[in-house]
């Protein structure tokens, strides 16, 4: 008894979990019932991971679980419903990448409790097949035109005309969804709902049905359905515009522009909650935008539209043939095909055969079209054979020819599949060969490579040091030349030469230069600023020292230093050559060693 009580309490908590999470989102602050209903149902769809299941995968699940052969009014119990939901979500996890797997058990529990609370409020533990199909095909992912086509196939007769009684039954079932999220007073079912959708038409075909359901505005009782799909399309749309109320610098989702107040725009949160500021009022007409266009793009679009390059009005859906469509549960795979040209969807809905996404990217458009035609022919013949299987064969030769043609088609498809696999294998091998290292690199000794890098680094350092010493040597030679001129001027001129004459014998000093505002009264010692102490002492004496020998000694010291540096650089270069010779002897095919920089000859004066 205790275990049964704990299980019942757990089930009660699970039933209330989704509704408690929905209340926590505070959707009730949205003032417009249409947006409030669409937001709540979109939350349920995402929370149960139904937005990841495409409508074509949902139809395939109906067929795999045997629902195509059941009557719409047949009842299924909760345990079988749980089995069907399990197959849907486990197949979904197989299609999803491993990094985006969903929690299957949680999704099954949330969706099962929501469906039971919506369609089994009296607690009978059973749901009708039509209730389950209507709910899942409406709440799953995919294009709204594909959903409406499937719904029309369920409510039309064999001549392709809508049956009003079945459409009324569909409205009863689908309008239970707004009631389940506490929006029944706004979008509940009434006896006049059918005639409000089709007030005058008597014979409703597929295109007429799509025109009414996808009109702007749609029927009042189903106005939340296209809005829920628009919400899914604009969740990640970015508008680089500032909201006139909350002053947010950007918007996500819908953008609303006032038709009376110039430049007044609101984000979806402010508009849904009825916020207004300044001269703007909630009574003003607002235009909803689901995308952002720059002013330049708007101007080009307006010019193209005025010149007739852009059609003024595009149809909301493709125009389908007026031929009768039988009730489409994929019992005959060729009856219903998706609107999109996606190869995977077409193959899935035509023959049920698995395909690879890589093969579609490798195929050219002509080959894709050819493969589509082959698969369509093969599926049509399979469907014809299945429909005629109950009749006894009357012409053995006809059956033999049909089997022969089927075998030829299968052989053609197998050959094409082999070509695709070979192309994939070839591209994979090319990619692996491009990404693998060359054999020459793999044969090199890591120790020798490390020593070679160290020697080259040492060589670069010595070259930098040699360049610095050469620059210093050049500066010293310039100083030496200037000092020699000064020495000759002092020894050759008169001892009473004027200060101006002495100041004119300035030498180019790279360290300190004479300022532009100096006067010619400077002494010759001023011209020696930045020169060593020995030179200053020599010129400070009455009789100048013999600086020629000192300067020559300094020049010889610089020359010896440069010579030793060049020898060390040559030894490093020889070491590099020896290392590269050793490496060349250790392997068969290695490129010739590279020489870095030119060799320097010993400088001489």
What's the pLDDT tens digit per position in 279-289?
A: 898 889 999 99
Winning range, highest mean pLDDT, from 88-97, 114-123, 198-207, 523-532: 88-97
Residues 575, 451: contact at Cβ < 8 Å? no
Give, rounded to a whole angstrom, the gap between the first and last alpha carbons of the chain: 112
CA–CA distance, 131 with 75 (Å, rounded to integer): 9
Instruction: For residue 98, give the DSSP letter.
Output: G
Query: Phi, psi at residue 547, to the nearest 5°?
Result: -80, -15
Residue 491 has pLDDT above 80, yes or no: no
Instruction: For residue 238, give the DSSP letter.
Output: E
CA–CA distance, 140 with 41 (Å, rounded to integer): 11
Locus of tokens 């060390």: 568
**pLDDT band at residue 342, thresholds of 50, 70 and 90?**
very low
Output the 3-class SS for 180-215: HCCCHHHHCCCCCHHHHHCCCCCCCCHHHHHHHHCC
What is the value of pTM for the model shown? 0.53
Residues 298, 57: contact at Cβ < 8 Å? no
Residue with the larger pLDDT of the pair 358 and 456: 456
What's the pLDDT tens digit per position in 502-515?
A: 333 344 444 433 33
- 512 burial (CB, 10 Å; 0-12 / 13-18 / 19+) is exposed
Residues 201, 164: contact at Cβ < 8 Å? no
CA–CA distance, 502 with 505 (Å, rounded to integer): 6
Output the 3-class SS for 9-44: HHHHHHHHHHHHHHHHCCHHHCCCHHHHHHHHHHHH
What's the pLDDT tens digit per position in 302-326?
A: 666 665 555 555 566 677 776 554 4
CA–CA distance, 368 with 187 (Å, rounded to integer): 45
The number of C-alpha atoms within 13 Å of 602 and in the hemisphere containing its C-beta is: 11
Query: Alpha helices, DSSP H only, in 493-512?
Result: 499-503
Instruction: For residue 69, give the DSSP letter.
Output: G
Q: Tell me what pLDDT residue 102 has.
A: 94
SS3 state of residue 354: coil
Query: Phi, psi at residue 256, to the nearest 5°?
Result: -120, 130
CA–CA distance, 104 with 443 (Å, rounded to integer): 51
What's the pLDDT tens digit per position in 349-389?
A: 433 333 333 333 334 445 556 666 667 777 777 777 666 55
Residues 460-470 have a mean pLDDT of 86
Q: Tell me what pLDDT residue 497 has.
A: 42
Instruction: For residue 524, give the DSSP letter.
Output: G
Q: Tell me what pLDDT residue 408 has.
A: 83
**Maximum Cα–Cα distance across the chain:** 143
Cα 192 off chain centre by = 47
> Residue 126: CB partners within 8 Å, gap ≥ 6?
75, 76, 77, 78, 120
């Amino acid at each position: 008894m205790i275990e049964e009580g704990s299980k019942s309490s757990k089930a009660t908590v699970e039933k209330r979990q989704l509704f408690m999470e929905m209340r926590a989102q505070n959707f009730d602050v949205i003032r417009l019932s249409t947006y409030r209903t669409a937001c709540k149902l979109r939350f349920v769809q995402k929370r149960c991971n139904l937005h990841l299941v495409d409508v074509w995968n949902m139809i395939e699940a109906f067929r795999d679980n045997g629902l195509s052969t059941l009557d719409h009014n047949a009842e299924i119990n909760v345990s079988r419903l749980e089995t069907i939901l399990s197959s849907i979500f486990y197949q979904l996890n197989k299609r999803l990448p491993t990094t985006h797997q969903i929690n299957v058990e949680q999704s099954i529990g949330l969706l099962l409790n929501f469906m039971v609370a919506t369609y089994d409020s009296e607690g009978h533990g059973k749901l009708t097949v039509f209730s389950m199909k209507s709910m899942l095909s409406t709440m799953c992912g995919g294009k709204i035109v594909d959903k409406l086509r499937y719904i029309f196939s369920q409510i039309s007769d064999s001549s392709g005309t809508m049956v009003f009684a079945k459409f009324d039954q569909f409205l009863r079932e689908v309008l239970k969804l707004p009631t389940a999220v506490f929006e029944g007073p706004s979008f509940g079912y009434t006896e006049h709902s059918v005639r409000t959708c089709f007030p005058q038409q008597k014979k409703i075909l597929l295109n007429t049905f799509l025109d009414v359901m996808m009109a702007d505005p749609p029927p009042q009782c189903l106005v939340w359905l296209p809005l829920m799909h628009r919400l899914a399309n604009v969740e990640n749309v970015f508008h680089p515009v500032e909201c006139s109320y909350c002053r947010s610098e950007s918007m996500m989702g819908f953008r609303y522009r006032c038709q009376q107040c110039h430049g007044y725009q609101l984000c979806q949160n402010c508009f849904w909650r009825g916020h207004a500021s300044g001269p703007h009022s909630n009574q003003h007409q607002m235009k909803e935008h689901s995308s952002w266009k720059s002013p330049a793009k708007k101007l080009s679009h307006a010019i193209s539209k005025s010149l007739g390059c852009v059609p003024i009005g595009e149809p909301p859906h493709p125009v389908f043939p007026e031929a009768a469509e039988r009730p489409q549960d994929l019992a005959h795979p060729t009856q219903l095909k998706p609107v999109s040209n996606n190869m995977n969807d077409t193959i899935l809905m035509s023959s049920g055969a698995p395909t690879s996404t890589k093969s579609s990217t490798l195929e050219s458009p002509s080959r894709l079209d050819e493969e589509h035609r082959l698969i369509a022919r093969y599926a049509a013949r399979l469907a014809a054979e299945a429909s005629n299987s109950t009749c006894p064969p009357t012409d053995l030769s006809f059956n033999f020819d049909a089997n022969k043609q089927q075998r030829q088609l299968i052989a053609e498809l197998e050959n094409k599949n082999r070509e695709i696999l070979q192309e994939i294998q070839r591209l994979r091998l090319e990619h692996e060969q491009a990404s693998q290292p060359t054999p020459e690199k793999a044969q090199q000794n890591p120790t020798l490579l490390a020593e070679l890098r160290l020697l080259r680094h040492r060589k670069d350092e010595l070259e930098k040091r040699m360049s610095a010493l050469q620059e210093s040597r050049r500066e010293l030679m310039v100083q030496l030349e200037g000092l020699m001129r000064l020495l000759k001027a002092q020894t050759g001129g008169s001892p009473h030469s004027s200060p101006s004459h002495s100041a004119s014998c300035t030498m180019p000093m790279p360290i300190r230069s004479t300022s532009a505002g100096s006067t010619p009264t400077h002494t010759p010692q001023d011209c020696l600023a930045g020169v060593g102490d020995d030179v200053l002492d020599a010129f400070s004496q009455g009789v100048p020292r013999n600086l020629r020998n000192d300067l020559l000694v300094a020049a010889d010291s610089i020359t010896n230093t440069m010579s030793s540096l060049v020898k060390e650089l040559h030894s490093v270069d020889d070491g590099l050559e020896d290392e590269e010779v050793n490496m060349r002897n250790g392997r068969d095919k290695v490129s010739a060693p590279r020489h870095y920089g030119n060799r320097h000859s010993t400088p001489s004066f």
